[in-house]
Structure 1
Amino acid sequence: MSLTHSESLSLSESDNGGTLTPCPNSPQGPDERIKESSFMDTWDTDGQNPYNWPLRKSAVNAILVCFLGFLSSLVSSIIVPALPNVMQEFGITIDEVGTLTTSLFVLGLGVGPFLFAPLSELYGRMFVYRLTMSAFTVLQIGCALSNSMATLIILRFFSGIFGSAPPSLGQATISDLFSPATRAPWSALYSLGPMLGPCLGPLIASLIVSAKSWRWVFWTSACVSAGGTALLFIVSVETYKPVIQRQVMKQELEKAYGKIGKRAWGFAIVGPDEKGQAAKGLYSKALSRPFRLLTTNPTCVVLGTFLAYVYGMLYLLLTSLPLLYRNGQGRLFSYNFSTISGLCYLGLAIGFIVASTMTAYGSTRLYNHLVKVNGEHRPEYRLLPMTAGMIILPIGLLMYGWSAHQHNFFMVPIIGNAFVAMGIFVTFQSIQVYLVDAFSPYSASAIAAATLLRCCAGCGLPLFGKQMFKALGYGWAATVLALATVPAIPIPLILYKYSRSLRERFPFHG
């Protein structure tokens, strides 16, 4: 046996199997006790370490998480083309009430991670994924069977809460599977989901609604979600290293002591005197972690606010596209597309895909180059591409707004949207990967804190987005948004220079 627990455990054999008792000198926390096991000494080269898994095994887990992150984000906006039919069936005439079906889903995406991110750091990623996606699937069935707008809005909110795990935990799972030097392509692939989903959702839904009832939008999402959930139970494995280490520790105890080792697992990890009070403190500390990051760590607050702005920009554009391409209201110009109006979202989708490809390779080369030049790994290297993103973003906004204002060929605003999408994606990706690197092993909680801010923006901004475009017109509304991004252009460089000192001045110990 490879355990070196003689200082913390003693085993007394007897005819009925013996007992395992903690030593008074044993450490007080589970992490410290696990570290006494000799398998920790070889963890970096152990086959249990996800960094040492075969690429095929890591890729299967990563691709499944990327798909589920995409699915949750897609469902956030999938109701948009069906909304007129839903409102007509339920007798709703106020636009803002219909908008709540999307806004509250997005709010749920921000609220859920505050619970599920800490749970993933206690029980592992797979436990949370399987639990939440099972509930998410059931809620999609509930949406399809809704008999009132109030019921649909409430179910959409809870769908957002339970669908929040893949979009918020995915980056942490990618960091579990791949080292900092190799994770950029996978991280870019994952980030594509939360960006691409809201764009493709209306396109897919418009095709469904043109042939079926609006309820089939939710029946379709329920079927796809059920398939993804089944794969979670069949092919996925745990990726969070502290949980894997505890599992290996338990297996070694069981192998060495048999059933008594299994019964004594609770004593080996948390002694009898500690069990109640320490467990209570462990839960409260873990569950408060995202809130503490959001209120005490300036770097997390600044980057979370930055992320909220660019994510809110995406949802503002999503509210203006139906006005421009399907049914302009008031004095607003419209191209008056009908069944193909969903194609207007392709500009954003193409922009996200192009930016994902560029950052997957460009960020890796830049990061490895800076590591080689400076001789150390630093999360701040992830922030430099944000400068390019913040320059591209206002250019795309101006191109979109003024080409629509001047009634140019319909493809010109779509091209402008592609540039907007590129700027948003590069910024989104840089912030997410920075948070993973800077706050590991609590990266899930750090992303949860940032997710709350961005989802609040995604929830609130669409509520007045239509009114802004109606009041100012496409050109001036886009100009206001573009001017708001200009002061943010130097922020990535400022953070690159001072973020390290902020991290050292305000360290986070979990």
Structure 2
Amino acid sequence: MDTTITSLPKSVEDQGAILTKLRSRDSTAPPIDPEKPSTQESNTSTLDKFDGIQGKDLEAGYGEFCPQKEAKPTETRIERLSISPSDDDTPDNPNLVAWDGVDDPQNPMNWPNSRRWSHIGIVSALTFFVGLCSSMFAPGVPQLMRQFDSTNEALGSFVVTVFVLGLAAGPVVFAPLSELKGRYIVQHIGTVGFTAFTIACALAPNMEGLIVIRLFQGIFGSVGITNGGAIISDIVKQEERGVALSMYSYGVLFGPIIGPIAGGFLNTAKGWRWVFWVLSICLGVITCLSFLIWRESYEPFLLRKKAARLRQETGNLALRSEYDSDLPPRVHFARGIARAICMLIFSPVVLSLSIYTGLVYAYFYLLFTTFTSIFSGIYNFSTDIVGLSFVGVGVGFLIGQIAFSNISDRLLKSLAAKRGGGFKPEYRMPPCLIGAVCIPIGLFWYGWAAQARAHWIVPLIGTSFVGLGNSIIFMSITTYTIDAYGMYSASALAANTVTRSIMAAVLPLAAPPMYAALGIGWGNSLLAFLAIAMMPVPWLLFKYGERLRRVNVEKFTYI
């Protein structure tokens, strides 16, 4: 329970009552009787000192008041990551600024459907083009290397994967910034920066310059992925998020699939620079639409802004929202960065989900490294149509999206009604169990079908199972994270995105030596065995997730 003092009583009698409560915790301290003048006089300096801890945690204040007793944080639970009102932050407090009732139209949860879905559409479109940028350029790498007289294949691969490293670096800054300054300004910084660096890619003078530009392109593009899920949590109720997140996930998952297909034809027809020009034009349209349509959606920022406006209008400096703090912005920003790192290190839920998502996402990119060699080498696909080998994964993604959007919210409501106790994030996990089974099936199927040189449709069917599993796992984990961490879902998603992007950038580098040593059959089998080892993760979270979210909470202080 939050014991933050927001308005310390100024009378000696009231202060004495509070001191009596505090000192009663220490068996060696005699009680204070506020009715006795002698006691009041003897404690004048003490009360002055106590008056200085206004706005602090009572336990921390007690540590200053009674230094013989070590101060400890009142709350060290990870639940503090989801702010809840303190005892003083109740409707009975006349100085508490909140929404004007449950139907307040200024509350993003009460926005009209047209505004909510326009925001979801912009976020989904931006995320889709982030996915396109990650892979659409890949078919043009040989042409790029010839133009810049480079024979370094590692450098050619890095010019593609460095974008994914940018996706890992960006959330560390943009996630806490969105929780401090709101989603609006951060989203605009991301879209403008992403568009600008995409244009710069089209004008890159050499390979080294393109690598640096691609890194910053990924950093600014990460805003769409990191803030997208958080924005959906701002404006869509928990029991309705399945459909919204399914639409958002289309961009995350289908962008990297459609990218190589479209990029192959565009590179052949117009050259690699036109890939970035086409992307720049599309991103320019999205940026203009976002400036026309976008509104701030982050509740703590909106209520802090409302409280500041009312203080100025009324002259009542005691007015505040439950999210107001006297800490300087730089401290809040540092805490935001620390929050994402601490969630990744100390929360078993965030850590396990980040590793699991990173593994299946890395498989997604790792398989891409084999498609060209397998389907052009074994099945004699031409350069123009080798991109069509990604269709199998795309079909699996589509099936997963449709299935998840139709069953997720229904299953959540059904389990809540059956078990009672309202909606729980763990009710998002059952579909993930299906996805966990599909991944190893698809890897075994694809690897051994290609090894046996079966008809080209057979390994493609195997890749569709990988796409199906990847799609369901990604959406289940994203929805679970948003439901579990609420307004701080941006930090939790940032931890997930950083881990996922690093693994997606690094693990594919191991593909060539692995397949050279083991072959396509046993190489994919090794990946499948790792996926089998991770299969218990969604089941454990469904069964024990609520308990696991409280493991090692003593490592957390309020961030």
- TM-score, structure 1 normalization: 0.87
| Cα distance, 1:422 vs structure 2 | 0.5
User: 1:412 and 2:458 equivalent?
Assistant: yes
How many angstroms does 1:438 deviate by?
Answer: 1.2
Q: Structure 2 counterpart of 1:290, which letter?
A: A
Name 1:318's counterpart in structure 2. 368
Matched ranges for 1:392-403 at <5 A: 392-403=438-449
Following superposition, the deviation at residue 63 of structure 1 comes to 0.8
Aligned to 1:364: 409
Aligned position for 1:157: 215
Alignment of 1:337-348 (within 5 A): 337-348=382-393
Deviation for aligned residue 1:116: 0.3
Q: Kindly state the Cα deviation for residue 430 of structure 1 after the two structures are TM-superposed.
A: 1.2
* Root-mean-square deviation (Å): 2.6
Structure 2 residue 358 is the aligned partner of structure 1 residue 308: yes
Which residue of 2 is the match for residue 355 of structure 1? 400
1:222 and 2:280 are equivalent in the alignment = yes
- Per the alignment, residue 538 of structure 2 pairs with 492
- Is structure 2 residue 100 aligned with structure 1 residue 54? no
The answer to whether the 8 A contact 1:335-1:410 is kept is no
1:20-419 counterparts in 2 under 5 A? 40=98, 42-253=100-311, 256-257=313-314, 278-326=328-376, 328=377, 333-375=378-420, 376-419=422-465
Summarize the Cα distance change of 1:165–1:41 in structure 2 as closer, same or farther, 3 Å threshold.
closer
Q: Percent identical across equivalent pairs?
A: 33
Q: What is the letter of the counterpart of residue 487 of structure 1?
A: A
Unaligned runs of 5+ in 2: 1-5, 9-50, 58-82
State the Cα distance separating 1:176 from its structure 2 match.
Answer: 0.9
Out of 550, 553, 557, the residue aligned to residue 504 of structure 1 is: 550
- Closer, same or farther: CA 248–26 of 1 in aligned 2, 3 Å: farther
Q: Give the letter for the 1:195 counterpart.
A: L
Equivalent residue letter for 1:114: V
Larger gyration radius, structure 1 or structure 2? 2
In the TM superposition, residue 24 of structure 1 has moved relative to its aligned partner by 9.7
Question: In structure 1, what is the Cα distance between the partners aligned to 2:503 and 2:552?
Answer: 26
- SS of corresponding position for 1:44: coil
Q: Contact 1:72–1:163 at 8 Å: present in 2 too?
A: yes
Equivalences, count:
475
How far residue 39 of structure 1 moved from its aligned partner, in angstroms, is 5.3
Aligned to 1:11: none
Q: Quick check: 1:141–1:222 contact (8 Å CA) kept in 2?
A: yes
Q: How far 1:25 moved relative to its partner?
A: 10
The aligned residue for residue 15 of structure 2 is none
CA distance in structure 1 between the partners assigned to 2:527 and 2:237 by the alignment: 37
Q: 8 Å contact 1:356–1:425 — kept in the other structure?
A: yes
Three-state SS of the structure 1 residue aligned to 2:366 is helix
In the TM superposition, residue 434 of structure 1 has moved relative to its aligned partner by: 1.2
How big is the shift at 1:244?
1.9
Report deviation, 1:334: 4.2
Q: Are the counterparts in 2 of residues 102 and 459 from structure 1 also a CA contact under 8 Å?
A: no
Q: Distance in 1 between matches of 2:388 and 2:120?
A: 29
Give, in whole Å, the separation in 2 of the partners of 1:189 and 1:431: 15
Q: Which moved more, 1:88-97 or 1:308-317?
A: 88-97
Aligned residues of 1:34 and 1:246 also touching (Cα < 8 A): no
* Cα deviation 1:83-125 (Å, max 9, x = unaligned): 1101111122122111111221101101110100011111111
- Per the alignment, in what secondary structure is the counterpart of residue 139 of structure 1? helix
Q: CA deviation at 1:249?
A: 2.9
Query: In structure 2, what is the Cα distance between the partners aligned to 1:279 and 1:463?
Result: 40
Q: 1:219 to 1:300 in 2, by over 3 A?
A: same
Three-state SS of the structure 1 residue aligned to 2:436 is helix
Contact 2:96 2:320 in 1 (8 A): no
**Counterpart amino acid of 1:50?**
P
**CA shift for structure 1 position 464:** 2.3
Seen in structure 2, the aligned counterparts of structure 1 residues 108 and 381 have a Cα distance that, compared at 3 Å, is same
| Alignment equivalent of 1:467, drawn from 488, 506, 513 | 513
CA shift at 1:203, angstroms? Answer: 1.0
**1:317 counterpart letter in structure 2:** L
- Per the TM alignment, residue 43 of structure 1 is displaced from its structure 2 partner at its CA by 4.5
In 2, are the aligned partners of 1:73 and 1:194 still within 8 Å (CA)? yes
CA distance in 2 between partners of 1:437 and 1:160 (Å): 27
Question: Match of 2:481?
Answer: 435
- Note the C-alpha offset of 1:268: 6.5
Q: Aligned equivalents of 1:355 and 1:68: distance in 2?
A: 21
Q: 1:334 to 1:51 in 2, by over 3 A?
A: same
CA distance in 2: counterparts of 1:81 and 1:182, whole angstroms: 39
Contact 2:310 2:319 in 1 (8 A): no
Secondary structure of 2:139's counterpart equals coil
Change (3 A) 1:25 1:491: closer
8 Å contact from structure 1 (residues 104, 157) kept in 2: yes
Give the aligned residue type for 2:104: D
Distance 2:337 2:534 in 1: 32
Q: Note the C-alpha offset of 1:34.
A: 8.8
1:129·1:166 contact (CA, 8 Å) conserved in 2?
A: yes
- Amino acid in structure 1 at the alignment position of 2:541: L
129 and 34 in structure 1: CA distance in 2 versus 1, 3 angstrom threshold: farther
Question: Is residue 507 of structure 2 the alignment partner of residue 457 of structure 1?
Answer: no
| Preserved CA contact (<8 Å) 2:349 2:545 | yes
Deviation at 1:181, TM superposition (A): 0.5
Shift in CA distance, 432/403, structure 1 to aligned 2, threshold 3 Å:
same
Report the residue type matching 1:155 in the other structure.
Answer: I
The CA deviation at 1:454 is: 0.7
> Structure 1: which amino acid aligns with 2:165?
L
Stretches of structure 1 that go unaligned for 5 or more consecutive residues are: 1-5, 9-22
Aligned equivalent of 1:17: none
Distance 1:477 1:269, change over 3 A: same
